[in-house]
A and B are shown apart, each in its own frame.
Chain A
Amino acid sequence: MKDVAQLARLMQGNEAIVEGALAAGLRFFAGYPITPSTEISELLAERLPLYGGKFIQMEDEMASMAAIIGASLAGLKSLTATSGPGFSLKQENIGFASMAEVPCVVVNVQRHGPSTGMPTAPAQGDVMQARWGTHGDHAIIALCPASVQESYSLTVEAFNLSEKYRVPVILLTDEVIGHMRERVVLPQPGAMKVIDRKKPPTGLEKYYPYQPGEDGVPSVANFCENYRFHVTGLAHDESGFPTTNPEVVEKLINRLNDKIMEHVDDIVLSESWLTKDAEIIIVAYGAVSRSAKKTVKEARAAGLKVGLFRPITIWPFPEKEIAALSRQAHTIIVPEMNLGQLKLEVERVTSGRSKVIGVNKVNGELITPGEILDAIIKL
């Protein structure tokens, strides 16, 4: 085993996503390059064939989302990567993947918007779009890395959750983290747990692809493996064929939601730093959490009891954790590179127990530690 210093290297966030995806077993990528996610496409075009995988540059974002759904149904771990404008275009098919329970991972390296906005500038404006961008009630998982190292590990985690719960998982990163280069030490191959989707037993006389297991997740067979069955975006019964039977459909939509919401303890990741005695808590995610960490250091140096809570999983939202913090802190500060999207969730969960204050910036620049500190001083 080589010494850690020798394994350390300079890596970009987007590059770490590629390495994480390959470590998780990625075998199919379809995409349409867009700043600031392009490096993911570029690198996978080179790397994926070496693993026996397929890389396709599609005609647009809608088609790339459709292609990864098809590849995943055929049994391959599949990925696409995009940014705001492309994420909007993928929404319809993200809904299809939710409804048809197709495991897949969508990377959104957030840039300034709306529309084409500022292509090379960071933002966090797609937080609510990640949750509700596609129509209809559905559950989704979204993860927010705050470092290059975490861009790697959360990509592995995104694939694992997607395979386990048969749900599209959004890796919601941002331009700062995606383009940033920093020192990383990648785990040795095999050091991180890799989960593969469960398969149905063979030899069943009658196969119901959408019959859920005890965990609420069905064992949908890979296409061309033992069974012939139907997959649709229409409401369907356990056979996979469309139905309008209200009872069956009610059960289906509830199950799609429950299979995620009943497993929040397994899904939700977060990090608390100096929160134990904190009277003021900063809730920050992605690149902004790094500014917030510096704010906490500066505030502590000035004798203020400030701590940081960092949601790593933002969907499902870490409700229990934030609710507990609101019983302890008189104020919760939510800095975001948007006009206050996750703040709405913090307000909902804290039910008025703490004062919730947003620090918001939408000019394409990262919020500075000083800007968050100013909000604390003004209290």
Chain B
Amino acid sequence: MALTSEIMLSGTGGQGLILAGQILADAVIRDGKNTVQTQSYGPEARGGASKAEVIISDGEIDYPKVTQPDILLVMSGEALKKYAGSIDENGTLIIDDTYITDTLPIGTNVFAVPYTRIAKENLGKEMFANVVALGALAAITGIVTKESLQLALMSRIPPGSEALNKKALELGWKSADQAAA
């Protein structure tokens, strides 16, 4: 049986979750593994539920959707309610609690960090929250190498935003070290 990981990034349209999914999948390929990335979102440009799904395997991937996430990122209260129950019992739950007012689950594999607030306070824009969260997710789970993630990030962002994105990834990575400490 091939070793497979299922990752779900969920939140609200406009938070950049689908782009984060693409960057993650791109990094997986740079690491020499197989991957499929899908998404579901509404017709709105912003708002509405949005999620990206990434499957990583060292073998063939047939069904392209996540059945039970091993790694789940939630960035909205709605996503927390909808998906937190679907996670694998040994799975890792990463929560951006900036805007979540609900009671958060507790556990050794639950990480709640205000990635959006970190982005706003350090980079001046909430827009970088996806990259901060992605950096944290990679650091916590070790699902991709930092080098591949950096290369993937640089290849999929608008020109001119490199420095801030690089900083966002570092902030996320560092937040994971602090969360673990």
Contacts and interface: CB of A to CB of B under 8 A. Distances in A.
Interface of A: 5, 8-10, 35, 118-121, 176, 179-183, 287, 290-291, 293-294, 297, 366, 368-369
- Tell me whether chain B's interface is mostly helix, strand or loop, or mixed: mixed
B102 to A, nearest CB: 26
A180 B43 contact: no
A179 B29 contact: no
A120 B49 CA distance: 12
A121 B43 CA distance: 9
Given A5-B32, A120-B42, A183-B29, A10 B63 contact: no
9 contacts: A119-B43, A120-B42, A176-B38, A179-B38, A180-B36, A182-B37, A290-B63, A297-B62, A368-B65
A10 B37 CA distance: 9
B43 A35 contact: yes
A290 B64 contact: yes
A120 B48 CA distance: 12
A181 B43 contact: no
A287 B63 CA distance: 8
Nearest to B27: A10
Nearest to A364: B40
A300 to B, nearest CB: 13
B29 A366 contact: no
The 6 A-B residue pairs with the shortest CB-CB distance in the complex, in nearest-first order:
A293-B62, A294-B63, A181-B37, A182-B36, A10-B26, A294-B62
Contact of A181 (B25, B32, B40, B63): B25
B40 A120 contact: yes
Nearest to B65: A366
A337 to B, nearest CB: 13
B35 A182 contact: yes
Contacts of B34: 182-183
Contacts of A290: 62-64
A37 B39 CA distance: 15
A181 B9 CA distance: 15
B67 interface: yes
Size band of the interface chain B makes with A: 20 to 34
Contacts, number: 60
A312 B40 CA distance: 25
Interface in B8-25: 22, 25
Given A10-B28, A120-B42, A183-B34, 18 more contacts: A10-B37, A120-B40, A179-B39, A180-B36, A180-B38, A181-B37, A181-B38, A182-B37, A183-B29, A183-B35, A291-B62, A291-B63, A294-B62, A297-B62, A366-B64, A368-B63, A368-B67, A369-B62
A134 to B, nearest CB: 28
A10 B29 CA distance: 7
A293 B32 CA distance: 24
A368 B68 CA distance: 12
Most B CB atoms within 10 A — which of A9, A10, A287? A10
Interface in B113-150: none
A120 B43 contact: yes
Contacts of B43: 35, 118-120
A235 B64 CA distance: 47
B61 interface: yes
A176 B40 CA distance: 9
B41 interface: yes
Contacts of A287: 64
Contacts of A118: 43
A9 to B, nearest CB: 6
A35 B40 CA distance: 13
B41 A10 contact: no
A9 B64 contact: no
Nearest to B38: A180
A183 B55 CA distance: 11
Nearest to A292: B62
B57 to A, nearest CB: 10
A10 B62 contact: no
A119 B42 CA distance: 8
Given A9-B29, A120-B41, A120-B42, A181 B36 contact: yes
A146 B5 CA distance: 22
Interface string B36-77: 111111110000000000000000011111010000000000
Contacts of B28: 10
A297 B4 CA distance: 15
Most A CB atoms within 10 A — which of B22, B25, B29, B41? B29
B136 to A, nearest CB: 22
B62 A180 contact: no
Contacts of B25: 10, 181-182
Contacts of B26: 10
B36 to A, nearest CB: 4
